[in-house]
Every structure is written in C-alpha cells, then in structure tokens.
C-alpha cells in the first residue's frame, strides 16, 4: 500500500451486526479514507491495525438509505423555481440524515418547461458529508404522462411526444446533464425511441402515471425501461385478462417502488412475494414532510396534509407523502413480515442496483463507500455515517 493510504487513520467498529451478503453477521467493520476496508489485507499485507476502536453497543450496521423519489421536505419544494434553490436543497439534504438517507435523487413533478430550465442548471451531483446527503442526480416525473392517470400532476402542463420525440423531451427539460431517472407513460406514441435514447445515455427510465396494457409495458422494458414509479398507484388496476403495468411484477427484469402510505399492506405483500429482490422503497415525500399538517405545495398545486395523508386541495387525490425513509422501512417490514435484512436492502441495495451504483453504494462490501447507519433492533436510526464520518447522531440532540 502506498504511504499516504497507510498513514490514514483506520477505524474499527466493534460489537455490532453488519448487513453483508444479505445476512446480519457478527463482525467488525473496518473503515479507512471513506471506504470499507478488508481486514485480512490490512493484517497480512500491511501488518496494520486499528487506530481507533468504536464500541457499537450491539447496534445493527446497515448501508445508508438511498431515496430515488423525493419531491422535497421541511418546507422546500424541488418543483418550485426559486433563485435560492440551492439553499433549499442543502436544507433537505441536511435534514434527511437523521432519517438514515445518505444519498438521494431530488424529484421534480410535472412542471412548465421554464421551471426545468431554471431548476436543473442549479442542481449538481455531489458527494454527501457533514453538509448533508449526497445528490445522485434528478428524477423527472412527467410531464410525458397520461391525462387519465395524472394523479397530483397539473393537467395543463402535461405533454406528448410530437414529431421530434426525443428532441421534444430535450426542449422541455433543457438539459439532461444531471438527470438520473425519467418517469413516463409507455403507451405514448414514439415513447419507445425516447426510452432507447435515454437508456443509451445512462438514464434510468421508469414507467408510471400510465394506462399502458401489459404488452405496451413489456415493449418498454425491451427498449430499456427498468422501473415502475409507485407501483399500484396512478396506473390501471390489476385485471386477470390484461394485468397492465402491475403484470411486470412477474418479470425478472423489473424492480419496483412502494412508499408505505399509498399502498394497502396486502398489496405490499403481493408485490414483495412476487418480486422480493426488486422492491425499492421511496418516500415520494413532499415539501410538507417534517412540518405540521396544513396547506403546502407540490410544484404547481396546493396540497393539504391531513394526518399521514396528503391530498390535492379540495380533492381526495393523493399527492406524494410525508413519510420519512426510516418510517417506510419499518412499515414495509411490519406489513410484509419480511426479514430485517430484506427491509433494509429495499432502501439501500435495491435502489443502488437500480441506478447501477451497487459497486460503490448500497452494500458494506470491501472497497465500497463507507456510507452506513447504526440502528437498534426496532430499526430506529441511532447514527448516520457518510464516507466513514459521523454526520448525525441521536444522542447529540439530547434524545
């Protein structure tokens, strides 16, 4: 090993159960320079040992949560074009550390082109740290979605693909530089060529807000779509003769999404049992997450928070959620009766696989980023670490 690496302090986390290879294992976790270290190499190749030992008091250590669909929180709405957009995103990235989120995809709901043109250039992909969770790139949900299944998206902003198809999408968004996920309705004319073009650029295509039948959904998968946005919500209900997008549950290729509030526990159990390795938990949180009930925004719309439900003002249309990621994980485990390991991987490993970053994030494998959480047996977050540094601890708040 070169000198600069061997001089960096090595931290050994002891007395813990580490989530590794889909199992909680009673092992120590070794960290150096922001990466998970292989202790065998350290002992045998470098003859090294730990500089600092930390007793984890029998905590669970799991990879940091990755939220690939979050519209805002704590009074900040990512779909509102403001000059201080950056300070809003900084606030959210700081606040979600206490909920175990170490990286996320800020999500914009259907908006006029002017909003995308103003907001997206202010968004930059960055590593996490004491300043907040890392930003993996934007998730653009709409405006190329179905009127019939628009959900909380404003109808006057919805668009279809015209003659230019992909050029129409580029003109709407202005830039795809920091975009990681696009949600669209696959039944739209010319959507196949758009899906192919996005996929070739390394952008994940998710199917949602759609009246697609199963054949249209499968065709989208063949062209590169790999995800379903909030499964069971804003799509045709399951029908035995044409199961629609929900029918993709039985396909090996497709991961899926569930946010714990929108979906009945029985539906969560069906999804989990049909495709346990593909469940991806998201919060779909809106600006009102972390705030008192009342009126808040979601892009162009006013929403009302009533308990754990959020509706478009004056309607019973659900619009995002106010659930935090740690709440979603606990709810998922409770509703499905799945193992602790499965619940934790649905918020860490699976979203990392979806984005193709599982070699760096979403696991505690050797050489991956040391983004991890300490949790108690009831899956409440006790401390959050990014790149091996403690960025949030429960005791620090006198709790």
Task: Please tell me the distance from the alpha carbon of residue 296 to that of residue 304, in angstroms, as a whole number.
Answer: 6
Number of C-alpha atoms within 13 angstroms, CB side, residue 384? Answer: 28
Q: Where are the alpha helices (DSSP H) in 265-382?
A: 265-274, 325-336, 340-345, 349-355
| Residues 315, 101 contacting (CB under 8 angstroms) | no
- Please name the residue that has the structure tokens 């030992």: 53
Instruction: Classify 182 in phi/psi space as left (phi over 0), alpha (psi -120 to 50) or beta.
Output: beta
Q: For 380-397, b where at least 16 C-beta lie within 10 A, e where not — what string?
A: ebbbbbbbbeebbbeeee
Secondary structure of residue 43 in the 3-state scheme = helix
Q: Is 213 known as a binding-site position? A: no
Q: Which residues contact 391 (CB under 8 A, 6 or more apart)?
A: 97, 128, 129, 130, 132, 384, 385
Task: Please give the full DSSP string across 278-296, using - where no structure is assigned.
Answer: GEEE---B-TTTTS-SEEE
Q: Where are the alpha helices (DSSP H) in 52-190?
A: 85-95, 113-119, 166-173
Task: Please tell me the distance from the alpha carbon of residue 169 to that of residue 179, in angstroms, as a whole number.
Answer: 12
Burial class (CB in 10 A: 0-12, 13-18, 19+), 349: buried
Q: Is 241 known as a binding-site position? A: yes
Task: Please tell me the distance from the alpha carbon of residue 350 to that of residue 14, in angstroms, as a whole number.
Answer: 26
Q: Is 240 known as a binding-site position? A: no
Q: Is 320 known as a binding-site position? A: yes
Q: Check 67, 77, 284, 371 and give the catalytic one.
A: 284
Q: Is 152 known as a binding-site position? A: yes
Q: Is 141 known as a binding-site position? A: yes
Q: Is 262 known as a binding-site position? A: yes
Can 55 be counted among the known catalytic residues? no
- Please name the residue that has the structure tokens 């259907």: 110
End-to-end, the C-alpha distance of the chain in Å comes to 42
Residues annotated in a binding site for substrate: 152, 233-234, 241, 262, 318-320
Active site residues: 284
Residues annotated in a binding site for Zn(2+): 141, 209, 230
Residues annotated in a binding site: 141, 152, 209, 230, 233-234, 241, 262, 318-320
């Amino acid at each position: 090993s070169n000198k600069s690496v061997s001089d960096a302090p090595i931290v050994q986390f002891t007395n813990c159960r580490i989530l590794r290879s889909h199992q909680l294992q009673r092992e120590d976790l070794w960290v150096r320079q922001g990466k998970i270290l292989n202790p065998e190499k350290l002992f045998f190749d470098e003859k090294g040992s730990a500089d600092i030992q930390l007793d984890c008091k029998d905590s669970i250590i799991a990879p940091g949560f990755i939220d690939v669909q979050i519209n805002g929180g704590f009074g900040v709405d990512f779909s509102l074009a403001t000059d201080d957009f950056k300070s809003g995103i900084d606030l959210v990235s700081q606040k979600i550390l206490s909920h175990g989120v170490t990286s996320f995809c800020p999500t914009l709901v259907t908006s006029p082109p002017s909003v995308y043109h103003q907001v997206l250039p202010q968004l930059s992909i960055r590593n996490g740290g004491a300043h907040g969770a890392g930003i993996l790139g934007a998730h653009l949900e709409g405006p190329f979605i179905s009127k019939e299944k628009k959900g909380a998206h404003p109808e006057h902003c919805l668009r279809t693909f015209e003659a230019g198809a992909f050029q129409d999408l580029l003109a709407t968004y202005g830039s795809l530089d920091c975009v990681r996920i696009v949600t669209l309705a696959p039944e739209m004319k010319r959507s196949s060529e758009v899906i192919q073009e996005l996929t070739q650029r390394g952008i994940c295509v998710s199917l949602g807000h759609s009246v697609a039948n199963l054949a249209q959904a499968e065709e989208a998968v063949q062209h590169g779509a790999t995800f379903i946005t909030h499964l069971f919500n804003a799509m045709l209900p399951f029908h035995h003769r044409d199961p629609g997008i929900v029918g993709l549950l039985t396909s090996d290729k497709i991961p899926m999404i569930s946010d714990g509030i929108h979906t009945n526990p029985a539906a969560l159990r069906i999804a989990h049992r049909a495709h346990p390795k593909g469940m991806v938990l998201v919060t779909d949180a809106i600006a009102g997450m972390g705030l008192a009930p009342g009126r808040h925004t979601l892009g162009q719309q006013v929403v009302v928070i009533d308990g754990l439900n959020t509706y478009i003002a004056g309607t019973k249309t659900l619009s995002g959620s106010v659930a935090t990621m740690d709440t979603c994980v606990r709810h998922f485990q409770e509703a499905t009766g799945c193992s602790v390991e499965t619940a934790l991987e649905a918020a860490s490993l699976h979203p990392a696989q979806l984005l193709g970053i599982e070699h760096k994030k979403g696991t505690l494998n050797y050489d991956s980023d040391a983004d991890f959480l300490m949790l108690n047996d009831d899956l409440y977050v006790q401390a959050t670490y990014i790149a091996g540094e403690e960025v949030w601890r429960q005791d620090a708040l006198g709790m």
